[in-house]
Structure 1
Amino acid sequence: MSQIISQDITQPIHIPQIDGSRLSSRDSLVLKAFRNDVWLPNTTGIEQKYCLVSRELLFQILMVEDISKSKLSQIDDITTRLNPKYQRIDRLNNGREKVVINQVNVETEETNIDNSCQSNKKSVYRLTLQDKSGAIFYAINTTNLPWLFVCMLGSKLIINTGTQFIRGVFLLNDTNCIFLGGVNQIWNENRELKLQEYLEAKLRRDSESRVSSNSKKRKATQ
Structure 2
Amino acid sequence: MSFSPENYLQTSQSYTQSAMTFTVMGIIDIANSKLSQIDKWKDYEDPHKASVDRLNKGRNHIIRELKDDNDDNGTAIIPTGNTLYKLTLKDSEDNYCYGYEYMDKLPFLRKTQKPAGDSGSSPLPIPLGSRIRIEKGTLIMNGVLMLTRVQCSYLGLSDHDKELYQKLNSDIAKKNIQYLTGELKSQK
Summarize deviations over 1:155-208 as a string: whole Å, max 9, x none.
Answer: 11111111111112111111101211115222111112111111112112222x
Instruction: Note closer, same or farther for the CA distance 1:192–1:44 as it changes in structure 2 (3 Å cut).
Output: farther
Instruction: Note closer, same or farther for the CA distance 1:89–1:187 as it changes in structure 2 (3 Å cut).
Output: closer
1:201 matches 2:161: no
Q: Does the 8 Å contact 2:132/2:156 carry over to 1?
A: yes
Q: Does the residue aligned with 2:9 lie in a helix, a strand or coil?
A: helix
1:167 is matched with 142
Q: How far, CA to CA, are the matches of 1:122 and 1:161 in structure 2? A: 29
1:78 matches 2:59: no
1:212 is matched with none
Instruction: Note closer, same or farther for the CA distance 1:168–1:91 as it changes in structure 2 (3 Å cut).
Output: farther
Deviates more, 1:77-86 or 1:124-133: 77-86
1:138 is matched with 98
Work out the number of aligned pairs and report it. Answer: 147
Q: Which amino acid aligns with 1:137?
A: C
Q: How far, CA to CA, are the matches of 2:128 and 2:85 in structure 1? A: 14
1:156 matches 2:131: yes
Summarize deviations over 1:87-129 as a string: whole Å, max 9, x none.
Answer: 32525489579xxxxxxxxxxxxxxxxxxxxxxx952000000
Greater relative contact order, per chain length (Cα 8 Å cut-off, separation 6+): 2
Q: Which of 1 and 2 has greater Rg?
A: 1
Q: How far, CA to CA, are the matches of 2:90 and 2:136 in structure 1? A: 18
2:3 is matched with 39
Q: How far, CA to CA, are the matches of 1:174 and 1:44 in structure 2? A: 25
Q: Choose from 49, 57, 61 the match for 2:20.
A: 57
Identical columns (%): 29
Scaled by the length of structure 2, the TM-score of the pair is: 0.69
1:128 matches 2:88: yes
Q: Does the 8 Å contact 2:29/2:85 carry over to 1?
A: yes
2:121 is matched with none
Structure 1 residue ranges without an equivalent (≥5): 1-35, 98-120, 208-222
Instruction: Note closer, same or farther for the CA distance 1:161–1:96 as it changes in structure 2 (3 Å cut).
Output: same
Per-residue deviation, 1:45: 4.3
More strand by percentage: 2
Instruction: Note closer, same or farther for the CA distance 1:51–1:189 as it changes in structure 2 (3 Å cut).
Output: same
Per-residue deviation, 1:46: 3.3
Q: How far, CA to CA, are the matches of 1:192 and 1:94 in structure 2? A: 18
Structure 2 residue ranges without an equivalent (≥5): 65-80, 114-125
Q: Which amino acid aligns with 1:126?
A: K
Summarize the alignment of residues 200-219 of structure 1 with structure 2, pairs less than 5 Å apart. 200-207=181-188
1:48 is matched with 11
Instruction: Note closer, same or farther for the CA distance 1:156–1:86 as it changes in structure 2 (3 Å cut).
Output: same
Root mean square deviation of aligned Cα = 2.4
